[in-house]
Amino acid sequence: MDLDHLLPDLLSRTDDARALADLRATLARRAEAEGLLDVAYRTIDSPVGRLLLAATPEGLVRVAFETEDADRVLSELATQVSPRVLLAPARLDAVASELEEYFAGRRHAFEVPVDLRLARGFRRAVLERLTQVPYAGTVSYGELAARAGSPRAVRAVGTACALNPVPLVVPCHRVVRSDGAPGRYRGGPDVKRRLLAMEAAA
Amino acid sequence: MSLPPFERVVTEHAGVVLRVCRALLPDHDAQDAAAETFLSALRAYPRLRPDSDVRAWLVTIAHRKALDVLRARARSVPVADVPERPGGHLPDGAAVRDDDLWDAVRALPDKQRLAVAYRYVADLAYADVAAAMGTSEAAARRNAADGVKALRRRYPAPDGATGTATTPEERV
């Protein structure tokens, strides 16, 4: 028997899925308890496709649409927030159920804490104003610029909305062009139109 | 160059870390040691150099965690109660079973067991085996070779086993 060849074969065959799942669960729980879980994430299915949700201990830090490459989104979080990024669903439970209620038409405002650290300066000011635009309401880029204190910064408002790290929860889909066209959206213009139609019908 | 999300480290290396811990410890302790290994790694991760050999790093941590568990057990179990180690009594001609092999690996003397685990279970190069064990590369080679020799003695090949040995092409 050629044990030199047989050994690695035998020893590498014994992965079992349950041991791996247990390891992940223990790691996520202990990391959270010991303050090492800088970024927790999970994915959920929604009417606008699969969503990736990520949260720091302060709150929801990123919502990404299926059209954004999940690997790239996680790499950006590792670079911009912390490399301590783990698949750890528990921290996202509240966000997941609020989103489910939102898509079912039963929730008109989000209550989960939001961490806007990925948007700085003026972009952040725009997003903070945006949270005041009510369900089923819309605002133009120009109006929002005025509300954020810089009426001439219409393009910058457009950029702030297009780069909103937490779409849906900070409702940048409610910002439309003054001619009534929906305008750019991180999840694509079709998703933006669907969200506006859904809210108008609710 | 920046560090990938830790999740990728878990996905890529959880299997190896679990197997290394299992080669060194009984199953229940192995599971705990693997979790401790990743927790420890997660704590230190932001300071890891992005070009590091992550698997070798994790195996070194797993080595320390496993020794912690063994030391803690040595303190808590009176020597007289330590059961005889298994080994050398596998039935002749028995089908090669994974569990038997794990038992045989765990029954090796410490240095041989570690060297076999790191070389064959974690698939580390001898330089990394040596680093994980804190020995010279020559000593690591010798320990692995002695371990394999001992396994071969305790674990006699069943008739026809040579015929089932896989060729390198089949071991993808």
A36 touches chain B (CB under 8 A): yes
B115 is a domain residue: yes
Burial letters B8-28, b for 16+ CB under 10 A, else e? bbbeebbbbbbbbbbbbbeee
Residue B103: the pLDDT is 79
Is B65 within 8 Å of A57 (Cβ atoms)?
no
Residue A39: the pLDDT is 98
Q: On the CB side of A6, how many CA atoms lie within 13 Å of its CA?
A: 20
Assess whether B74 and B2 both reside in one domain: yes
B151 is a domain residue: yes
B83 is a domain residue: no
Chain B, nearest residue to A13 by Cα: B98
Assess whether B94 and B54 both reside in one domain: no
B100 is a domain residue: yes
Q: On the CB side of A131, how many CA atoms lie within 13 Å of its CA?
A: 15
Distance from CA of B80 to the nearest CA of A (A): 32
Query: What is the per-residue pLDDT across A75-132, written as a single tens digit (0 to 9) for each?
Result: 999 999 999 999 999 999 999 999 999 999 999 999 999 999 999 999 999 999 999 9
ipTM: 0.89
Assess whether B71 and B109 both reside in one domain: no
How far apart are alpha carbons A113 and A131 in whole angstroms? 12
pLDDT band for position A160 (cuts 50, 70, 90) = very high
Residue B92: the pLDDT is 34
Query: What is the per-residue pLDDT across B70-121, written as a single tens digit (0 to 9) for each?
Result: 777 766 654 433 333 333 333 333 334 456 777 788 888 888 988 988 888 7
B59 is a domain residue: yes
Assess whether B7 and B56 both reside in one domain: yes
Is A192's pLDDT higher than 60?
yes
Q: Which of B22, B42, B126, B162 should we substitute to test contact with A (largest number of A Cβ atoms within 10 Å)?
A: B42
pLDDT band for position B164 (cuts 50, 70, 90) = very low
B169 is a domain residue: no
Assess whether B6 and B63 both reside in one domain: yes
Query: What is the per-residue pLDDT across B23-61, written as a single tens digit (0 to 9) for each?
Result: 888 878 888 999 999 999 999 999 999 999 999 999 989
Contacts of A27 in chain B (CB under 8 A): 10, 35, 38-39, 42
Assess whether B65 and B101 both reside in one domain: no
A27 and B152 in contact by Cβ < 8 A?
no
Is A29's pLDDT higher than 60?
yes
Q: Which of A200, A201, A170, A202 lies closest to A185, judged by CA?
A: A170
pTM reported for the whole predicted model: 0.80
Question: Is the model more confident about A197 or about B91?
Answer: A197
Residue A8: the pLDDT is 58
Residue B26: the pLDDT is 82
Q: What is the mean pLDDT of chain A?
A: 91
Single residue among B47, B78, B109 that ends a domain in this structure: B78
A84 and B98 in contact by Cβ < 8 A?
no
Residue B171: the pLDDT is 37
Assess whether B60 and B5 both reside in one domain: yes
Single residue among B54, B78, B102 that ends a domain in this structure: B78
Assess whether B114 and B50 both reside in one domain: no
Distance from CA of B5 to the nearest CA of A (A): 5
Assess whether B73 and B1 both reside in one domain: yes
CATH (domain of B99)? 1.10.10.10
Single residue among B36, B52, B78 that ends a domain in this structure: B78
Assess whether B108 and B144 both reside in one domain: yes
Contacts of B18 in chain A (CB under 8 A): 15, 19-20, 23
B31 touches chain A (CB under 8 A): yes
Is B22's pLDDT higher than 90?
no
Question: Is the model more confident about B64 or about B164?
Answer: B64
Question: Is the model more confident about B166 or about B152?
Answer: B152
Contacts of A41 in chain B (CB under 8 A): 7
What domains can be seen in chain A, in order of their start residue? 17-103 (3.30.160), 121-201 (1.10.10.10)
A84 and B46 in contact by Cβ < 8 A?
yes
User: Is residue A172 among the annotated active site residues?
Assistant: yes
CATH (domain of B56)? 1.10.1740.10
A86 and B42 in contact by Cβ < 8 A?
yes
Assess whether B146 and B114 both reside in one domain: yes
Assess whether B95 and B69 both reside in one domain: no
B98 and A79 in contact by Cβ < 8 A?
no
Contacts of B98 in chain A (CB under 8 A): 10, 13-14
Contacts of B8 in chain A (CB under 8 A): 74
Is B162's pLDDT higher than 50?
no
Residue A175: the pLDDT is 94
Chain A, nearest residue to B32 by Cα: A23
Rg of chain B, C-alpha, whole Å: 17
Residue A71: the pLDDT is 96
- Strand-pair category, A51-56 with A39-44: antiparallel
B7 is a domain residue: yes
User: Count of domains in chain B?
Assistant: 2
B124 is a domain residue: yes
The boundaries of the domain holding residue B46 are 1-78
Residue B157: the pLDDT is 58
